[in-house]
Amino acid sequence: MEINKKMGTEVINLPRILIFRIKSRLFAGAIPWIIGFFIFLITSVPIFAYYSFVDLKTKSLAGSLVSSAYSNPALICGEKSPSLYAEYSDLFYGLNKLDNPVQGYYPPDADKMVLAAIFPYKNYGMGVSRNLLTTPIHKESKTSFLLARNLNDLIIRRFEESIDVAASFNICSLEFSHFPYENYSNSATTFSWDFFISAKFTDGFEYGMAFKNLGNTDIGFKEKEPLPREFNFSLAKKISNIKLIFSYMDCQQIPDYGFAAEYNIKGLNIMTGINSNYFSAAAQFLLKERIEFSFGVSVPFVGDIAFQPDIAVKYYFSTAVAQVDKLGEMKIYYNRAYEAYVDKRFEEAIQNWEQVLKLNPEHILAKKNIVKARADSKKYYFNLATYEYKMGNYEKAIDFWQKVLAIDPSHDLSKQKIEKARKRLESGEKLLPAVPRDYEKLKEEGGDKAPRVENER
């Protein structure tokens, strides 16, 4: 076995017979999915058109399949902790009421609720979700049982790559409560299943796919229009703290395109997206160590009628996720501070170490390094001021001495030097420039000759 340290990859030289067996296992495991996809192409479900259930994060990112394990169960294996999710959406919130119904638009008193739980375990993941839509004339519900599998142990891959698949078995029901539908039937049930794929590669791209409404089993009320087959695809690229997302959906041979962006800053996740149906925006943050809170607003493109507010809460059964996020953020600030200190950008270094203390007030190294950085910056700026004064650059000298006073307001020597420099500046008196010294060398002598700040490995 060879380890490529530069690329972070593991190269395994396997016998041909073993490679053949691995490929055979992959092919055998793919047969059920190939059969399911074939069924998907030639069959349909003769049942009413259900509401398309997606969670708040997916909706705010224009149908993204690379962002939430509740809309793409293939992402369950990548979760760091089991979690419980609850969401509420008001599908009509406004003053205007429609005289005539608009297709795809819900009347007042229409709302949606979601309850879900997911459980990642090693290379597997499972979960259950319950979606309920209520309107004045009917109710829809969808109960899904989720199963996910990570394929990394079955294929030769680089460490940064990940391929996951998932299946969802769905029980959908519809119940009418008002005329004229109650004259035909007051309830109906259908079964279907979905197939999902998630992939991440070393080039920084993420992919998500979903084949929805597979199967052909129904009990109860039927309409002429079948439940439409649906295909979803998402592509995302992360650039620094911003993730750009493109989504495509094909339902009833009507394509829909979506564009979204996700930005993370200091633990706050800001999301926005737009497609042909609506524009949405949302925010997500840790309310407490284990509780994640989200809220968002969607504006359907049906005129100035209403908007749809959404709120969601996610509870982590383990503190692992919150701790990992917190430690990772602390490490980022600490490393930035250390780099700034080495480059003698003391103010920036102090600001970053103060951010570390906000996350962990008991961080001893950050406290020590702030004290040391202030002392070194004081000496550093004083020496630069002295140099500029000797070169006859009184204004620059005054600026540096004022920086010393900003660090230590009681530094009397700097006050005296500022007064002296101002008098020379007002009188127009110039000192003969001293023998020029190496400015960079003087900068090195400004603090310690070599920074001895303690670095956190």
> In total, how many domains does the chain have?
2
Q: Regarding beta strands 138-150 and 111-121, do their DSSP bridges make them parallel or antiparallel, or are they unpaired?
A: unpaired
Look at residue 5 and tell me if it is in a domain: no
At residue 262 the predicted structure's pLDDT band, cuts being 50, 70 and 90, is very high
Low-confidence winner among 9-23, 140-154, 287-301, 356-370 (lowest mean pLDDT): 9-23
pLDDT at residue 157 is higher than 60 = no
Look at residue 455 and tell me if it is in a domain: no
pLDDT at 49: 37
At residue 30 the predicted structure's pLDDT band, cuts being 50, 70 and 90, is very low
139 neighbors 106 (Cβ within 8 angstroms): no
pLDDT at residue 68 is higher than 80 = yes
The residue from 318, 336, 365 where one domain ends is 318
The residue from 318, 338, 365 where one domain ends is 318
Residue range of the domain that includes 366:
324-446
At residue 5 the predicted structure's pLDDT band, cuts being 50, 70 and 90, is very low
pLDDT at 226: 53
Name the more confident of 455 and 266. 266
114 neighbors 129 (Cβ within 8 angstroms): yes
The residue from 318, 333, 349 where one domain ends is 318
Give the CATH number for residue 412: 1.25.40
Look at residue 2 and tell me if it is in a domain: no
Same domain, 420 and 301: no
Low-confidence winner among 26-40, 176-190, 258-272, 357-371 (lowest mean pLDDT): 26-40
Same domain, 366 and 244: no
pLDDT at 300: 79
Burial class (CB in 10 A: 0-12, 13-18, 19+), 31: exposed
448 neighbors 377 (Cβ within 8 angstroms): no
CA-CA distances (angstroms) from residue 292 to 56, 273, 310?
A: 13, 21, 14
Give the CATH number for residue 166: 2.40.160.60
Look at residue 282 and tell me if it is in a domain: yes
Distance CA 417, CA 427 (A): 15
Q: Regarding beta strands 230-239 and 83-90, do their DSSP bridges make them parallel or antiparallel, or are they unpaired?
A: unpaired
Kindly report, residue by residue over 353-387, the tens digit of the pLDDT: 888 888 888 788 888 888 888 777 777 778 778 88
Same domain, 27 and 54: yes
Same domain, 169 and 198: yes
Top-ranked range on mean pLDDT: pick from 104-113, 177-186, 293-302: 293-302
Same domain, 136 and 171: yes
pLDDT at residue 76 is higher than 70 = yes
Total residues belonging to the chain: 457
Same domain, 39 and 184: yes
Name the more confident of 266 and 103. 266
Name the more confident of 28 and 217. 217
Report, as an integer, the average pLDDT of 245-270: 89
Look at residue 114 and tell me if it is in a domain: yes
Same domain, 32 and 151: yes
The pTM for the full model equals 0.58
Look at residue 237 and tell me if it is in a domain: yes
pLDDT at residue 267 is higher than 90 = no
Same domain, 313 and 334: no
Look at residue 389 and tell me if it is in a domain: yes
Name the more confident of 297 and 415. 297
Same domain, 91 and 159: yes
Give the chain as a 3 state SS string. CEEECCCCEEECCCCHHHHHHHHHHHHHHHHHHHHHHHHHHHCCECCCCCCCCCCHHHHHCCCCCCCCCCCCHHHHHHCCCCEEEEEEEECCECCCCCCCCCCCCCCCCCEEEEEEEEEEECCEEEEEEEEEEECCCEEEEEEEEEEEEECHHHCCCCCCCEEEEEEEEEEEEEEECCCCHHHCCCEEEEEEEEEEEEEECCCCEEEEEEEEEEEEEEEECCCCCCECCEEEEEEEEEECCEEEEEEEEEECCEEEEEEEEEEEECCEEEEEEECCCEEEEEEEEECCCCEEEEEEEEEECCCCCCEEEEEEEEEECCCHHHHHHHHHHHHHHHHHHHHHHHCCCHHHHHHHHHHHHHHCCCCHHHHHHHHHHHHHHHHHHHHHHHHHHHCCCHHHHHHHHHHHHHHCCCCHHHHHHHHHHHHHHHHCCCCCCCCCCCHHHHHHHHCCCCCCCCCCC
In the chain, what is the straight-line distance between the N-terminal and C-terminal CA atoms, in Å? Answer: 28
Report the percent of the chain where pLDDT is more than 70: 69
pLDDT at residue 11 is higher than 50 = no
pLDDT at residue 192 is higher than 60 = yes
pLDDT at 3: 31
Tokens encoding 166: 């998932």
Same domain, 265 and 400: no
Same domain, 302 and 414: no
pLDDT at residue 190 is higher than 70 = yes
Same domain, 353 and 416: yes
Kindly report, residue by residue over 268-279, the tens digit of the pLDDT: 999 999 998 889
Radius of gyration, alpha carbons of the chain: 31
